[in-house]
Each structure stands twice: as structure tokens, then as C-alpha cells.
């Protein structure tokens, strides 16, 4: 099991955006990397130094990094957003986006979609030398409401998809084993029309006498990343279990009675562990110390989340961020508010076996 390289990579690049994470990532195993990144941030001007020091890149990715250093920074800004999206989608679950298994299908897909978003947005913002607004959206066109002119800046999502394919898939292209094929499949699913392009929406502005709309200018804009998160969440819940071929060159559906996975489906090999107990081998941090919901009856309830071990309650007054406003781009500025709350956190298991394992 490995964390996708890009997680290391983006945490490495994105320390300036830790505010985004709002402390919720203090448990991330790679959070420490954000500290070591400070050493290199000063050297960002030198893409060679930066790209050579990012851990976990394969050589094809290092080449892309050196050729497009500003694209790497755009992706680095995106990681906070899609890690937050991952944590949002899994907010009621034991798993917290830190470790991977069946969930790796989701992580591969949402990270891949996240790169598409980060690069596409950077193109529209004029941050990258290699791309700009969609050059094909020019001249006049027609829709159900009649004729209109393309204008403004249409998001160049085809470029974002192309870049994400070259960059994200490079890691898996080296290996030809079934796991690499599975990761490629899930990367691709995150970039499919269903996950990203479908949510491009046409926005228009009316011109003409007192807004009569005799003239319209339109452009295509990406929807909120939440839509992609929700879509991939559905796909995750319907993810299809697969088994390796006899010769290890691919995979087929595990249960022949179930439908074969399409390119839009997420796929995974073995069943996930239950994530109750910390276990490095399966990449689980366990749920000890996780916050649970005393009144819920769902996955986030204290019974389920704490796996029956019980929980501690403490009353804390805390400063929270409130009235947050998003500033383009990419900062969130908030006010500080004081609130008093009861917090329930899962107890750790008592067994000695657990202690010796950590
Ligand atoms: C806890 O669960 C209840 C019932 O599902 C819900 O109404 C409430 O908002 C949850 N509280 C938190 C802090 O998530």
C-alpha cells in the first residue's frame, strides 16, 4: 500500500494553505512534510531544485514538474480543496482520508479530478504559460434559446484533463501489474465526462436594449468541486470489487453475477479493513481519539465510530472560525468566535497487542 505520490507532493507544496485545513489534518501522517517544505519553498524559483526534492515523483513526473513548475504550484493549491472534499464526503465514517484501501479508489479518482480542476482554473486565471481559456469557444453558436456569441473566458477543461492524464497516470504507467491497472482505472474514472465535464455549465450575459437579451454572450464555467465530490461519492458507494486475472495482467469482476465495471465505475480489490484499530500494514490509523456524535444513529455515532470501546467527553470552549469569506484566489479569511461545546472522543483499545503494534 502506498499513499499516492501526489498526496506527499501536494502537502509538500501546499504548506501555505494549511489554514484551509483548519488543523483537521494534524493527524495526517504526511503533515510533517509541510514543515520540511519550508526549506525548499525559497527555492521555488529554481524549478530544478524544487522538482528534484519532491519525494515520490517518477522521472516522467520530474520532467513535467521542471517544464511546468507553475502548474505544480497550482496543483499544490488544489490539494487542500480536494483533501477537504475527501474529509467532507467521509465525515461520518471511521476512515478519515488518511489511509487507503478500498477507499484508495475514491482517493485516486478525487485526486485525479482535483488536478483537472486545479489546472483548468489556473489556465483561466492566466497563471500558466502553456494554456489559457478554451480557444475553441469563439465566434457564434446556437442553443435552445437561439444564437449567441462565445465571449469571456471558457474554462479549458480539455487541457486540464490532458495535463492530469500525463501527470497523474505517469506513476502507474511504469508498473504493469493489476494494482497499477486498477489505479489507472480509478484515476481515469475521476476525469471522465461524468465526473468533471458534465458539470461545466454555460453562463450567459444579456445585452441589448434594457436587458432585452437580443444579444447574448456566453462562456463555459466549471461547477463547484462539491458536485464532483458528490458524484464520486455515489460511485464509491457502488464501487465494484474485482479480482486479478490468472496472469496478473488485468482484473475482472469478482462476483460474476454483478455487472462488469464500466469506465465510470470505481473498482477495488480486497474488502477494506474495519479501520477500528491502528494497523500500519493495512494503512489504518484506527479511530482512537476520533470525534463521534452522541446523538447520531449512523456511521458517525459513538457506538459505530468507537467500535464499542466507549468514549470520553470533555467540555471545551474553543475559538472557531466563523463568517469565513473566500478571497480569489486562494485564501479564506475568517473571524474568530468563542463557543462552548461537549466533545466526545473515542477511547483507545485496552489490549496490549495494540500497544506493541504502535
Ligand atoms: C449529530 O447527529 C445529529 C443526528 O443525526 C445531527 O442532527 C447533528 O447535527 C450531529 N451533530 C454534529 C456535530 O455533527
Q: Is the pLDDT of residue 218 over 70?
A: yes
pLDDT tens figures, 279-332: 766 666 788 888 899 998 888 889 888 888 899 999 989 888 788 776 665 566
pLDDT tens figures, 59-114: 888 888 888 888 887 887 777 777 778 878 877 777 666 545 557 788 888 888 98
Residue 296 Cβ < 6 Å to ligand 1: yes
Q: What is the mean pLDDT of residues 158-171?
A: 91
The answer to whether position 206 is within a domain reads yes
* Closest residue by Cα to residue 110 from 2, 251, 250, 4: 4
Residue 295 Cβ < 6 Å to ligand 1: yes
Q: Is the pLDDT of residue 354 over 80?
A: no
| Assigned C-alpha cell, 73 | 504550484
* CA-closest residue to ligand 1 atom 3: 296
Å from CA of 89 to ligand 1 middle = 15
Taking a C-beta distance cutoff of 8 angstroms, is the pair 96, 285 a contact?
Answer: yes
Taking a C-beta distance cutoff of 8 angstroms, is the pair 160, 119 a contact?
Answer: yes
Model-level pTM greater than 0.85? no
Judging by beta carbons within 10 Å of its beta carbon (0-12, 13-18, 19+), is residue 76 exposed, middle or buried? Answer: buried
284 or 333, which is more confident?
Answer: 333
The answer to whether position 1 is within a domain reads yes
Our mutation pick for probing the ligand 1 site, out of 296, 301, 305, counting the most ligand atoms within 8 A of Cβ, is: 296
The answer to whether position 337 is within a domain reads no
Å from CA of 345 to ligand 1 middle = 15
User: How many domains is the chain partitioned into structurally?
Assistant: 1
Residue 293 Cβ < 6 Å to ligand 1: yes
Which numbered atom of ligand 1 lies nearest the CA of 293? 1
The answer to whether position 112 is within a domain reads yes
pLDDT tens figures, 29-66: 222 223 233 334 333 446 677 777 776 678 888 888 88
Predicted confidence at residue 30, as pLDDT, reads 28
Taken in order 25, 68, 333, 111, is the CA torsion positive or negative?
A: negative
Q: What is the mean pLDDT of residues 330-347?
A: 84
User: What b/e readout covers 134-143, taking b as 16+ CB neighbours within 10 angstroms?
Assistant: beebeeeeee
Å from CA of 27 to ligand 1 middle = 23
Residue 301 Cβ < 6 Å to ligand 1: no
Which numbered atom of ligand 1 lies nearest the CA of 298? 5
| Assigned C-alpha cell, 93 | 465514517
* Kind of pairing between the strands at 240-244 and 267-268: parallel
Chain centroid, CA 201 distance in Å: 21
The answer to whether position 47 is within a domain reads yes
The answer to whether position 6 is within a domain reads yes
Predicted confidence at residue 3, as pLDDT, reads 35
Instruction: State the Cα angle at 56 between 52 and 58, rounded to 5°.
Output: 75
Å from CA of 79 to ligand 1 middle = 27
Instruction: State the residue range of the domain holding 13.
Output: 1-17+43-236
The answer to whether position 217 is within a domain reads yes
CA distance 128 to 125: 8
SS3 readout for 20-52: HHCCCCCCCCCHHHHHHHHHHHCCCCCHHHHHH
Residue 356 Cβ < 6 Å to ligand 1: no
Amino acid at each position: 500500500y502506498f499513499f499516492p505520490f501526489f498526496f506527499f507532493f501536494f502537502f509538500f507544496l501546499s504548506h501555505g494553505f494549511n489554514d484551509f485545513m483548519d488543523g483537521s489534518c494534524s493527524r495526517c501522517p504526511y503533515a510533517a512534510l509541510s514543515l520540511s517544505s519550508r526549506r525548499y519553498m525559497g527555492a521555488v524559483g529554481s524549478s530544478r531544485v524544487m522538482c528534484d526534492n519532491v519525494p515520490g515523483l517518477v522521472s516522467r513526473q520530474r520532467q513535467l514538474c521542471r517544464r511546468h513548475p507553475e502548474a505544480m504550484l497550482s496543483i499544490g493549491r488544489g490539494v487542500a480543496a480536494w483533501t477537504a472534499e475527501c474529509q467532507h464526503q467521509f465525515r461520518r465514517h471511521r476512515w478519515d482520508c488518511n489511509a487507503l484501501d478500498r477507499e484508495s479508489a475514491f482517493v485516486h479518482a478525487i485526486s485525479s479530478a482535483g488536478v483537472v480542476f486545479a489546472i483548468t482554473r489556473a489556465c483561466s486565471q492566466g497563471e500558466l504559460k502553456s494554456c489559457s481559456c478554451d480557444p475553441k469557444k469563439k465566434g457564434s453558436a446556437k442553443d435552445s434559446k437561439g444564437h449567441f456569441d462565445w465571449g469571456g473566458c471558457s474554462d479549458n477543461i480539455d487541457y486540464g484533463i490532458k495535463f492530469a492524464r500525463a501527470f497523474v497516470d505517469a506513476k502507474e504507467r511504469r508498473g504493469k501489474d493489476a494494482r497499477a491497472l486498477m489505479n489507472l482505472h480509478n484515476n481515469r474514472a475521476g476525469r471522465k465526462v461524468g465526473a468533471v465535464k458534465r458539470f461545466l455549465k454555460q453562463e450567459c450575459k444579456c445585452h441589448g436594449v434594457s436587458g432585452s437579451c437580443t444579444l447574448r454572450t456566453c462562456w463555459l464555467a466549471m461547477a463547484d468541486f462539491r458536485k464532483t465530490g458528490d458524484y464520486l461519492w455515489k460511485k464509491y458507494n457502488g464501487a465494484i470489487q474485482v479480482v486479478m486475472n490468472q496472469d496478473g495482467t488485468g482484473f475482472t469482476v469478482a462476483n460474476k453475477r454483478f455487472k462488469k465495471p464500466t469506465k465510470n465505475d470505481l473498482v477495488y480489490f480486497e474488502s477494506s479493513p474495519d479501520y477500528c484499530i491502528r494497523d500500519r500494514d493495512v494503512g489504518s490509523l484506527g479511530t482512537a481519539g476520533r470525534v463521534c456524535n452522541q446523538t447520531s444513529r449512523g456511521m458517525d455515532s459513538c457506538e459505530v465510530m468507537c467500535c464499542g470501546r466507549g468514549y470520553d467527553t470533555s467540555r471545551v470552549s474553543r475559538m472557531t472560525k466563523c463568517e469565513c469569506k473566500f478571497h480569489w484566489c486562494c485564501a479564506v479569511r475568517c473571524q474568530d468566535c468563542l463557543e462552548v461545546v461537549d466533545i466526545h472522543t473515542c477511547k483507545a483499545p485496552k489490549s496490549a497487542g495494540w500497544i506493541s503494534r504502535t
